[in-house]
Structure 1
């Protein structure tokens, strides 16, 4: 069993635990929260005895082998490095840092301490994403990648009423691109690598966070179009257009269905069976890597995570999204 600690007692953590507790080698060992009351309340839901309100004590604890970090984005680097320096393996929610400088520092700490760190981008490990990658040659030369993730945030209703919650506060390195646009960019990086050129535009909210945006990414012989929003909804599938046919994905973040439309009008379902809560697969990858003594995923690799962040840094620069975390960075 791998003994996990949890940093961040919110809805995404509960979603993560719903998946992780299905894994036979996952053990929930300890909970951290800023207040004792919240830590014990959350721990009580899962029958966990060990709780912490001091992060440094938690990192030094002998209660855990690994930690899942689901705190605000702006805290990821500081917290990840603290655990890495205490020889704890780190699974950190996406985006793993606020910018490329922070991502590099996290990975350097992992190398220095010879422990595993992985960005928790779940879609990389989904059976249907693997099916898409395997079937890509069947649609011929790829000319366009289109991904769309537009999901109206309930927190936007609060925003319009004058209550600005964390999702729309730039001091937490939040906003539409970082929160959901990344789901469109990570598969693009895994399938096609870094683009040659980036053109980004977006709609800025008064808080300084982006509400929505679009990015055109140019490659030598294809282009990618990415759309994302936290202030509108969309049901359009993602699509990879080839000269001999197209691969469609129902929803880029969960990828529950994938199919090919060939130029002759025929269709083929290439979906594979996968569990409903796709976070299970990132847990499985992370635990497998620990068991094998590896310190980096070959899929959500340091190279891929950094490349995606560099694209987002450039897009934010063009849109005008600036975080407090950027002030000490030479990347923006």
Structure 2
């Protein structure tokens, strides 16, 4: 049984807990919130006895083996390092940190303390991503990766009315590329590695974060075109174009309806059943790794998280997005 501490009492935390509860070896032993009232309310919902309003006290405690961090992005690195210093395994929501320097520090701390650190990016651990990996050879030499993930944020209505919530606040390391764009970037990195060049553009809101953006990434024998937005919707699919055909994904998060469209007109559906909650697979990976005595995921690996952070950092620099 892996005893989890939970940092963050928002909808994403509810989703993670709902998913992880399908695993026999998952349990919640402690809840952290800045206020005792919020911590107690959240703990009661899941029948948890221990609550904390002091992170250091929680990190030192012997009631947890691991921590799930779902706080604002700007807090990820500091909180993760704090827990890893006390030999606690860390599953940290995407993006892993605000920048590549923080990611490097987190990885170093994990190695020094022999604990597992994993970025909670769910799509690369789901069955349909494995379906893409297993069938990639069928479309021949890859020449282009096209990813589109544009999802109008309900918080954008509040923004337009003058209320800047966390999602559009640079002080919390937010914006479109951090929240949405990473779902385009991370799978690309897992499949094809580090690009040789990056070109980025985007629409910068008055708050200082990107509302939407596009990336053009070059590789020695292919290119990638990524489009992401928190201020528009899109019905465009995503695809991996090869010389013998294309792998088409109707939806990118979570990946749905994976089809191979061959040049001769044939279509092969290679989708796998995804009957579990979308976040189940990341919880399963994390717990399995701990029980196997492993300190790094081969899929959501240190290299993949670091390269993704480097790409986002360079893109933000080119777009003119600066965090407070």
Per-residue deviation, residues 7-60 of structure 1 (Å, max 9, x unmatched) = 000010001111001111101111000001100101111111111111110111
Q: Which whole-Å CA distance do the structure 2 matches of 1:200 and 1:111 have between them? A: 33
Corresponding residue of 2:213: 213
Per-residue deviation, residues 151-173 of structure 1 (Å, max 9, x unmatched) = 00000000000000000000100
Q: Which whole-Å CA distance do the structure 2 matches of 1:167 and 1:76 have between them? A: 15
Corresponding residue of 1:267: 267
Corresponding residue of 1:288: 288
Q: Which whole-Å CA distance do the structure 1 matches of 2:146 and 2:245 have between them? A: 14
**Is residue 125 from structure 1 mapped to residue 91 from structure 2 by the alignment?**
no
TM-score by length of 1: 0.97
Q: Secondary structure at the match of 2:256?
A: coil
Per-residue deviation, residues 170-229 of structure 1 (Å, max 9, x unmatched) = 010000000010000001001111111110000000000110000000111111000000
Q: Secondary structure at the match of 2:251?
A: coil
Q: Which whole-Å CA distance do the structure 2 matches of 1:82 and 1:198 have between them? A: 33
Q: Which whole-Å CA distance do the structure 1 matches of 2:199 and 2:92 have between them? A: 28
Q: Which whole-Å CA distance do the structure 2 matches of 1:24 and 1:256 have between them? A: 27
Give the alignment's Cα RMSD to 1 decimal.
0.7
* 1:275 Cα deviation after fit: 2.5
Per-residue deviation, residues 57-87 of structure 1 (Å, max 9, x unmatched) = 0111111000000000000000000000010
Q: Flag structure 2 segments of 5+ consecutive residues without an equivalent.
A: none
Q: Which whole-Å CA distance do the structure 2 matches of 1:253 and 1:177 have between them? A: 14
**Is residue 57 from structure 1 mapped to residue 57 from structure 2 by the alignment?**
yes
Q: Which whole-Å CA distance do the structure 1 matches of 2:287 and 2:157 have between them? A: 38
Q: Which whole-Å CA distance do the structure 1 matches of 2:299 and 2:152 have between them? A: 30
Corresponding residue of 1:4: 4
Q: Which whole-Å CA distance do the structure 2 matches of 1:276 and 1:299 have between them? A: 19
* 1:306 Cα deviation after fit: 0.1
* 1:250 Cα deviation after fit: 1.6
Corresponding residue of 1:329: none
* 1:256 Cα deviation after fit: 2.4
Corresponding residue of 1:197: 197
Corresponding residue of 2:237: 237
Q: Flag structure 1 segments of 5+ consecutive residues without an equivalent.
A: 325-332
Corresponding residue of 2:66: 66
Q: What stretches of structure 1 move > 3 A for 4+ residues in a row?
A: none
* 1:277 Cα deviation after fit: 1.9
* 1:251 Cα deviation after fit: 1.3
Corresponding residue of 2:180: 180
* 1:276 Cα deviation after fit: 4.5
